[in-house]
Structure 1
Amino acid sequence: MGSFSQEPRTEPEPKVVKTDAEWREQLSPQEYQVLRQAGTERPFTGEYTDSKTVGVYQCRACGAELFRSETKFESHCGWPSFFTPLAGDAVIERVDNSLGMRRVEVLCATCHSHLGHVFSGEGYGTPTDLRYCINSISLSLKPDSGPTS
């Protein structure tokens, strides 16, 4: 069963640091609203919700590798879902008490952009019993090169 640490963790400093003006220049208004202001795209509207393309999902803001397509699964929640990040240090998880509920926010460890939230104990048949519910607009998919079947 997946579980979350209740211990407060010190977040590492972001490796990519930009001013608010630089982020606004680089990102579209929708990307900025989700990635830099912890917004959420509407369910079932993102380009990767139903994608089956094999590859690596990267942070749209900084290009850091976050998730592999092999860990993506059908959760039917309206956003791409993954059962584990690419590496333990690829994302930061922190408690989010906004909107009157307790959730665990997922951030890119490299630039601290908002990606989505992670949930546990929902009963999905995945190896971790975790669902990283990630906004498509927070990601860009780098397809694997090589033969396709």
Structure 2
Amino acid sequence: MAGKVLKHDDEWRAQLSPEAYRVTRRKGTERPFTNDNFPKQPGKFHCVCCGTALFDMAHKFDSGTGWPSFWQPAADSAVAENEDRSWFMRRTEVVCAACDAHLGHVFPDGPRPTGLRYCINGVALSFEPE
């Protein structure tokens, strides 16, 4: 990776929709079943903040949770994980490795081959078809 994408808070706010800003820069969560209407074709999901390729359509599955779910990132270096102890829970937060945008959380209840479920806010993603 070339280096961290650093912007002042005002720059992020000007670049993003209010909902994308709230989720990605303020660690929010969108309502379920609101932003998982991406095309069902080959392609990549990118960070809405910096454009980094994060997930591949080939790794997407329907978890029934109402958020886009993937069993692995496009590359191990695309995302980073942090311990999240908010809301009296212990979870693993997933962020964009390039710009630290909050994407969602990863859980150990996904399908094979990884057994992981990257539960990602759809507003944090943009889709680029192949």
Report the TM-score, using the length of structure 2 for normalisation: 0.94
The alignment status of 1:21 with 2:10, answered yes or no, reads yes
- 1:53 is displaced (CA, Å) by 2.5
Deviations 1:79-136 (A, max 9, x none): 000000011110000110001100100000000000000000x2x4321000000000
Q: In the alignment, residue 58 of structure 1 is paired with which amino acid?
A: H
Q: Which residue of 1 aligns with 2:104?
A: 116
The alignment status of 1:35 with 2:21, answered yes or no, reads no
- Aligned-pair Cα RMSD in Å: 1.5
Q: Which residue of 1 aligns with 2:83?
A: 95
Q: In the alignment, residue 39 of structure 1 is paired with which amino acid?
A: G
Q: In the alignment, residue 33 of structure 2 is paired with which amino acid?
A: F
Where does structure 2 lack aligned partners over 5 or more consecutive residues? none
* Number of aligned positions between the proteins: 129
The alignment status of 1:126 with 2:107, answered yes or no, reads no
**Secondary structure at the residue paired with 2:40?**
coil
CA distance in 1 between counterparts of 2:123 and 2:103 reads 9
- 1:46 is displaced (CA, Å) by 0.6
Q: Which residue of 1 aligns with 2:121?
A: 135
Which of 23, 46, 60 lines up with 1:58 in the alignment? 46
- 1:74 is displaced (CA, Å) by 1.1
Which structure's CA Rg is the greater one? Answer: 1
